[in-house]
Structure 1
Amino acid sequence: MKFSIERADLLKAVSQAQSVVERRNTIPILANVLMSADGSDVSFKATDLDIEVIDKTAAQVERAGGTTVNAVLFHEIVRKLPDGALVQVEEDQTQGRLQVRAGRSHFQLATLGREDFPVMATSDYDANFSCPAPVLRRLFDKTRFAISTEETRYYLNGVYMHVAEGDDGRKLRCVATDGHRLARVDAPLPEGLEDMPGVIVPRKTVGELRKLLDDDDAVIAVSVSETKIRFATPQITLTSKVIDGTFPDYARVIPMGNTRKLEVDAADFAKAVDRVATVSSERSRAVKLALDEDRLTLSVNSPDSGNAEEELAVAYGDERLEIGFNAKYLQEIAGQVDRENAVFMFNNAGDPTLMREGDDQSAIYVVMPMRV
């Protein structure tokens, strides 16, 4: 194998691949990236046995072939090469080394044979559809903050993607919850999705997928089965196992009878929460919201550090209410609002609170209160 490639193209491809690799591996070859040169392309494949990513990029291929090299080490070398450099990569089969040259730099890296590189089993996909990158980006960006990190409830360690009945027809819906907050976001249903099984996309996969969605003009080909999900662009294919578990009936925890309505500037609210939370202890991070007519008072009382209070002008016309929340949860939910105003719907101090963006019903958030 021998090829030449622009440093920027190589760095982009290797970055995507090496981020999938687990830093601690009991199987040595899983720390490697598989490079395969053929025709006018070089593909870079990495896997942790749950996720597989393949990044194909154009290169000047002089000799076809393939080998594997430590992904993190190779990425670090490419990252430190000068901008604009032309990188020459050649496999030296007699020494079992990979020669990497750029300008006056020359590296020899240990390799492992590609025949031992694991192959993810193929899957027959039940549903195949195409979706614009901005639509998928919105679905996952607005839900990922609520993914649970509690390993015992593994079925909450991802985003539940499924077809759901909305008020105005069927929708493609993503939901995430950790038991303390919940995010539910809808998008128009793409063609070809009538028979899609509901799947839980793992947290790590959601993070890797985000790198495919930055191009607003990209269209992502999505394939879904009971056990796997695949996202593909012309250059990159990301295949992942889905979480083998049943996502809870999230509809039961979405409050429908909350009538006390607060409307507030989302950015001002997030900044005010951040300011008053400065004095709160890390353990509780509790912020009290005191609501009166067209006035919201945020306060924190920390026995160790002191007190903080801030007042905001808001739209609120119901009876007085005092309710407490985890400051981090409030900031994260307020941070999802793209529109100017956030609308909170309360019942009482002990019940879940509903939040949405203005009059947009396609994204709703639920947060559980705290005692303060």
Structure 2
Amino acid sequence: MRATVERSHLLKSLNHVHRVVERRNTIPILANVLLRADGGLTLKATDLDLEITETVPAEIGQAGATTVPAHILYDIVRKLPDGAEVSLDTGDGSRLEVKAGRSRFALQVLPEADFPDLTAGDFPTRFVLPASALKRLIDRTQFAISTEETRYYLNGIYLHVVTVDGKPMLRAVATDGHRLAQAQLEAPSGAEGMAGVIVPRKTVGEIQKLVEEPEAELTVEISETKIRISIGSVVLTSKLIDGTFPDYVRVIPQGNDKILKVDKATFSGAVDRVSTVSSERGRAVKLALSDGKLELSVNNPDSGSASEEIAVEYPADAIEIGFNSKYLLDVASQLESETAEFRFADPGSPTLIQDDEAGNALYVLMPMRV
């Protein structure tokens, strides 16, 4: 294999693919990136659950393929000067020679034949949508993904199609048992019959990073066990979580009649300030609501107490309810309108939070004892 590629193209591509490679690997080939010279230079990296492939323009002197340590190659290319032409040459096949200007590197290689391939199989569901639309679904829900490994079926975003007012909607849902985030958009053509799938946390994070141009279009393909996303010259293939997502609709409260409307920025600032003295473990903040005002307070026996009062729109009966302050701030940061709407039932029941205007996202928070 012999190829010459511009440093900026190679670095951008390595930046996309090398993130998949775990720093510690018990299987040596998984620490490597596959380089294939054939019409262009194709790079591929995988951790057996997630695979990213990208092809960059290159001058091919001799077709061929090899694999080299991903993080080392990335660091080498990152440290080369801007505008450098990078030459990659396997010579007799025992080493990969990397040359740029007066710099020379010889890297250990492993054979291409050992490199695993995730992409086999058919993807019966296929649809196209703007990259910004998928990123918005992910951005508004991913903070609620569970990190608890025992409930592995909550370690991702549940992507599925539902019918709302006779219209098919592509919906994303994430929950960790304490909070739930739901966002949706009009289902693109081809998505109507798709089965519900759980996209793993690591894959969700990579999709967010790959959307560098929001106006670009991406293609989503789904099979029973895998999802494949193509954006520009990058193709991400990932296994799906093999599990059943819980019936989240039962958690979303329907009859909460105590409605609070509050300026989002004012509320976030007040929560942030009073939670400064909250304990790291509990992070509890109490909301005391009465006609036209909201008092936020924190009482921590170890460090002290704090309170702040803000004017709100709240015509219902007085109520006192506690929440994790971090969860409140997470939800507030995802709301798009200037006014946040909270719907309460009682201090022990889930609370519904959404934008004041009829948006396509909603959030559910479980209260805490304070």
The TM-score range, normalised by the shorter chain, is over 0.9
Q: Structure 1 residue 92 and structure 2 residue 74: aligned? A: no
Report what 2:17 is aligned to. Answer: 17
Once the two structures are aligned, what percentage of the paired residues are identical? 56
On the 8 A contact 2:17/2:44 being kept in 1, the answer is yes
On the 8 A contact 1:136/1:213 being kept in 2, the answer is no
> Which secondary structure state, in structure 1, belongs to the residue aligned with residue 65 of structure 2?
strand
For structure 2, which runs of at least 5 residues remain unmatched after alignment?
none
On the 8 A contact 1:267/1:335 being kept in 2, the answer is no
Report what 2:52 is aligned to. Answer: 53
Q: Which amino acid aligns with 1:15?
A: N
Q: Distance in 1 between matches of 2:59 and 2:262?
A: 56
Q: Structure 1 residue 226 and structure 2 residue 215: aligned? A: no
Q: Distance in 2 between matches of 1:121 and 1:52?
A: 8
Q: Distance in 2 between matches of 1:231 and 1:240?
A: 9
Q: Distance in 2 between matches of 1:338 and 1:90?
A: 51
Shift of 1:351: 0.6
Q: Select between 214-223 and 171-180 the one with higher mean Cα deviation.
A: 214-223
Change over 3 Å in CA distance of 1:91–1:282 after alignment to 2 = same
Name which of 280, 291, 294 aligns with 1:293: 291
Q: Distance in 1 between matches of 2:159 and 2:228?
A: 13
Shift of 1:92: 2.5
Q: Distance in 2 between matches of 1:273 and 1:77?
A: 45
Shift of 1:82: 2.1
Name which of 198, 201, 216 aligns with 2:199: 201
Shift of 1:323: 0.6
> Which secondary structure state, in structure 2, belongs to the residue aligned with residue 160 of structure 1?
strand
1:119-147 deviations in Å (ceiling 9; x for gaps): 12512222111011111011111110000
The TM-score normalised by the length of structure 2 is 0.97
Shift of 1:324: 0.4
1:23-38 aligned within 5 A: 23-38=23-38
Shift of 1:72: 1.0
> Which secondary structure state, in structure 1, belongs to the residue aligned with residue 360 of structure 2?
strand
Q: Distance in 1 between matches of 2:124 and 2:78?
A: 40
Q: Which amino acid aligns with 1:213?
A: V
Report what 1:364 is aligned to. Answer: 362
The TM-score normalised by the length of structure 1 is 0.97
On the 8 A contact 2:286/2:320 being kept in 1, the answer is yes
Report what 2:65 is aligned to. Answer: 66
Report what 1:159 is aligned to. Answer: 157
Q: Which amino acid aligns with 1:311?
A: E
Report what 1:42 is aligned to. Answer: 41
On the 8 A contact 2:16/2:210 being kept in 1, the answer is no
> Which secondary structure state, in structure 2, belongs to the residue aligned with residue 138 of structure 1?
helix
Shift of 1:168: 4.9
> Which secondary structure state, in structure 2, belongs to the residue aligned with residue 191 of structure 1?
coil
On the 8 A contact 1:221/1:232 being kept in 2, the answer is yes
Q: Distance in 1 between matches of 2:130 and 2:92?
A: 43
1:1-372 aligned within 5 A: 1-39=1-39, 41-94=40-93, 96-372=94-370
Q: Distance in 2 between matches of 1:78 and 1:297?
A: 55
1:300-333 deviations in Å (ceiling 9; x for gaps): 1110101111222222111111110001111101
Q: Distance in 2 between matches of 1:251 and 1:88?
A: 56
For structure 1, which runs of at least 5 residues remain unmatched after alignment?
none
Q: Which amino acid aligns with 1:14?
A: L
> Which secondary structure state, in structure 1, belongs to the residue aligned with residue 109 of structure 2?
strand
1:4-48 deviations in Å (ceiling 9; x for gaps): 222221111111111111222111001100011112x11110111
RMSD between aligned residues? 1.3
Shift of 1:90: 1.7
Q: Distance in 2 between matches of 1:214 and 1:317?
A: 45
On the 8 A contact 1:126/1:197 being kept in 2, the answer is no
Q: Which amino acid aligns with 2:24?
A: R
Q: Distance in 1 between matches of 2:281 and 2:157?
A: 27
Q: Distance in 1 between matches of 2:267 and 2:101?
A: 53
